[in-house]
Amino acid sequence: MIDPITYSELLAGDVIGNMYESFTGLDAEGNVVPSLATSWAAHDDNRGFRFHLRAGVSFHSGRKLTAADVKWSLEQLLIPGNRGGLNAKYAASIEGAGAVQSGDTEELSGVTAVDELTLDVRFREAEVLFPIYPIYIMDRGVVDEHGEDWPSEVSAGTGPFSFVEWRRGQVVRLEAHDEYWGGRPAIDGVDFLIVPSYETAISMYEAGELDLAMVEQPFTRRVVKDTRFEPELLMTPAARIQYLGMNQNLYEPFKDIRVREAICRAIDLDGLSRGLFHGTAAPLAGQITKGVAGYNPENRPVSYDPERARTLLAAAGYPGGEGMPPLVISAPEPNRLELAFYANQLKTELGIPIEVAVVERGTHLAAMNAGQVAFFPWAWSAAYPDGLYFLRDVWYGPSVYNRSRWQNDAFDTLIERAAETPDNESRYELYHQAERILLDDWGTCPTIVKMLVALEKPYVEGVTLGAFRFLPFANVTLVSAQMD
Output the domain CATH number for residue 266.
3.10.105.10
Cα–Cα distance list, 471 to 7, 27, 282, 290, 456 (Å): 17, 8, 22, 16, 14
Whether the Cβ atoms of residue 445 and residue 243 lie closer than 8 Å to each other: yes
Range of 85's domain?
10-138
3-state SS, residue 157: coil
- The 10s digit of each residue's pLDDT in 323-377 is 999 999 999 998 899 999 999 999 999 999 999 999 999 999 999 999 999 999 9
Whether the Cβ atoms of residue 245 and residue 404 lie closer than 8 Å to each other: yes
Residue 483, domain member (yes or no): no
Whether the Cβ atoms of residue 173 and residue 164 lie closer than 8 Å to each other: yes
Residue 458, domain member (yes or no): no
Residue 150, domain member (yes or no): no
Q: Mean pLDDT over all residues of the chain? A: 95
The mean per-residue pLDDT over the stretch 112-133 comes to 96
Please report the pLDDT score of residue 483 as a whole number: 45
- The 10s digit of each residue's pLDDT in 179-226 is 999 999 999 999 999 998 888 999 999 999 999 999 987 788 889 888
Of residues 73, 107, 103, 102, the one with CA closest to residue 88: 73
CATH number, domain of 18, equals 3.90.76.10
Please name the amino acid found at residue 234. L
- The 10s digit of each residue's pLDDT in 234-244 is 999 999 999 99
Of residues 470, 91, 29, the one with CA closest to residue 293: 29
**189 secondary structure, DSSP code:** E
**291 secondary structure, DSSP code:** T
Please report the pLDDT score of residue 436 as a whole number: 98
d(CA 73, CA 383): 19
Please report the pLDDT score of residue 222 as a whole number: 85
Q: Which residues sit opposite 123 in a β-bridge? A: 94
How does strand 118-122 pair with strand 161-167? unpaired
Q: Which of 88, 111, 138 is the last residue of a domain?
A: 138
Q: How many residues does the chain have?
A: 484
3-state SS, residue 41: strand
Q: Are residues 246 and 360 in the same domain?
A: yes
Please report the pLDDT score of residue 53 as a whole number: 98
pLDDT of 484 above 50: no
d(CA 79, CA 5): 10
**154 secondary structure, DSSP code:** -
d(CA 50, CA 121): 6
Of residues 435, 281, 446, 470, the one with CA closest to residue 380: 446
pLDDT of 166 above 90: yes
Q: Are residues 321 and 442 in the same domain?
A: yes
| pLDDT above 70 as % of the chain | 99
pLDDT of 113 above 60: yes
Instruction: Count structural domains, the chain.
Output: 2
d(CA 309, CA 317): 13
The mean per-residue pLDDT over the stretch 155-160 comes to 98
- The 10s digit of each residue's pLDDT in 271-284 is 999 988 888 999 99
Please report the pLDDT score of residue 396 as a whole number: 97
Whether the Cβ atoms of residue 108 and residue 101 lie closer than 8 Å to each other: no
Please report the pLDDT score of residue 164 as a whole number: 97
CA 24 to chain CA centroid, Å, is 16
pTM (2 d.p.): 0.90
d(CA 465, CA 224): 16
- The 10s digit of each residue's pLDDT in 433-453 is 999 999 999 999 999 999 999
Please report the pLDDT score of residue 200 as a whole number: 92
pLDDT of 252 above 60: yes
Q: Are residues 132 and 272 in the same domain?
A: no
Q: Within 10 A of 289 (CB to CB), how many other CB atoms are there? A: 25
Please report the pLDDT score of residue 312 as a whole number: 98
What DSSP element (H or E) covers 350? helix 336-350
d(CA 428, CA 46): 17
Backbone conformation region of residue 274, classed left if phi is above 0, alpha if psi is from -120 to 50, else beta: alpha
Q: Which of 119, 138, 157 is the last residue of a domain?
A: 138
Residue 126, domain member (yes or no): yes
- The 10s digit of each residue's pLDDT in 383-434 is 999 999 999 999 999 999 999 999 999 999 999 999 999 999 999 999 999 9
Q: Which of 103, 138, 173 is the last residue of a domain?
A: 138
How does strand 445-446 pair with strand 240-246? antiparallel
| pLDDT above 90 as % of the chain | 89
pLDDT of 54 above 80: yes
Cα–Cα distance list, 125 to 95, 120, 121, 129 (Å): 9, 15, 12, 12
Q: Are residues 259 and 377 in the same domain?
A: yes
d(CA 445, CA 340): 17
Residue 466, domain member (yes or no): no
Whether the Cβ atoms of residue 101 and residue 78 lie closer than 8 Å to each other: yes
Residue 105, domain member (yes or no): yes
Residue 38, domain member (yes or no): yes
Residue 313, domain member (yes or no): yes
pLDDT of 299 above 90: yes
Residue 354, phi then psi, degrees to nearest 5: -130, 145
Q: Are residues 394 and 249 in the same domain?
A: yes
